[in-house]
Amino acid sequence: MRQNTSQAARRAFVALVATVGVLAATACSDAPSDTASSSPSKVSSSAPADGSTPSTTAAATCGARELSTMPLRQKLAQLLVVGVNDGADARRVVTREHVGGVFIGSWTDLGMLRDGTVAKLSAQQKFPLMVTVDQEGGRVNRLKSVGVDLPSAREMAKTKTPAQVRAIAKRAGERMAELGITVDFAPSADVSDESDDEVIGDRSFSNDPAVVTRYAGAFARGLMDAGIMPVYKHFPGHGHGSGDTHTGAVTSPPLREMQDVDLAPFRDLLAEPGTAGVLMGHLIVPGLTGADTPASMSRAAIGMLRNGKKYNAPGFDGVVFTDDLSGMQAITDEYTIEQAVLKAITAGVDAALWLSTDKVSSVLDTLVKAVKEGKLSTERINRSVVRVLTAKGVVTCS
């Protein structure tokens, strides 16, 4: 039988599906270009640094009541999603710093899901937690031991219809909801012809953008049917990158070459109502990001996602996550976790993701200092907090 707290979490994220999504971009300017500097520049008060349109800037008014009750540090904590070892680790970081979400990794003791610890912890907070996981299927099958076992994306596309994939994802999502999970960092919308065991490989549904669009969309709709928030990844497309961001810097094809291939699924999928989240890859994109700036820290890349202009897409006003900032050498070779989170949030992401709890207080100290020094504006933070709280079903913006 499902725990009441799991039901509450599921209802909250069903509300998310109805409220978080895409807004057509109107009368918006291009996002500022990235620079090679590792220090965040001051945010202009005249235009959102994250590429948001005027309509999304106004969205903060719908969360004014919630924002008025939150100290700065609590607002910033809502923008953090951190990996936890077990229930005790989750309880410590949530109680101490009130982070917005926890991440269930391959190392996490899943007893915290089986016994309802994480769901109860979420229900005890002022705002519910995002309880997140990578559950794609195939090689990325984090919940197999607790009853969620999916084929790889490539196998599903070869052996199932989109309708069958939607049904498979719905069943998996229902089990996730029972366990207290609310967000799945899936499906991959990457277009790839790599062999199965390469970095994307069989995590991609196909090397045909149209096939990826059909099957990733079906998988996402199945999760949403179950009340789970799907997150498309790895924007703007990892399938034809030069390597693996786990092991070092990766360059994608130039932006112009990505338009009809890597970006095509995102363009089509984000036009559908109910799209809930996008995860930014750590990819350097010639013609878009700076020469040394990964998309996850790039105002230009996040601005392109927000306003849609550079790839002829609708503007996206849902939650934007980073890929892992602490366990991938594309980031850790250049930045401490404090620097990485600050750069990503300054660039416009809503939720910074990393794999452990030990540096949460230090990261928050860094973010608070950046706000006080004028490197990160309160308006910028408020926009992301409202997106996160909307995704949690706390705020409803109409």
Catalytic machinery residues: 246, 323
Cα dihedral: 141, 143, 148, 154 (round 10): -10
Q: Concatenate the DSSP letters of all residues of 154-178 into one string.
A: HHHHHHS-HHHHHHHHHHHHHHHHH
Dihedral pair phi/psi, residue 134, rounded to 5°? -95, 100
Tokens of 220: 């996402």
Please, which residues have CB within 8 angstroms of residue 362's CB and are 6 or more apart in sequence? Answer: 337, 338
Instruction: Classify residue 95 by burial, with Cβ atoms within 10 Å: 0-12, 13-18, 19+.
Output: exposed
CA distance 57 to 50: 10
Q: Give, in order, the Cα–Cα distances in Å from 254 to each of 58, 133, 348, 354.
A: 34, 31, 22, 28
| CA angle, 330 then 333 then 334, to 5° | 95
What are the structure tokens assigned to 151, written together? 């084929």
* Cα gap 313→298, rounded to integer Å: 18
d(C-alpha 214, C-alpha 162), whole Å? 7
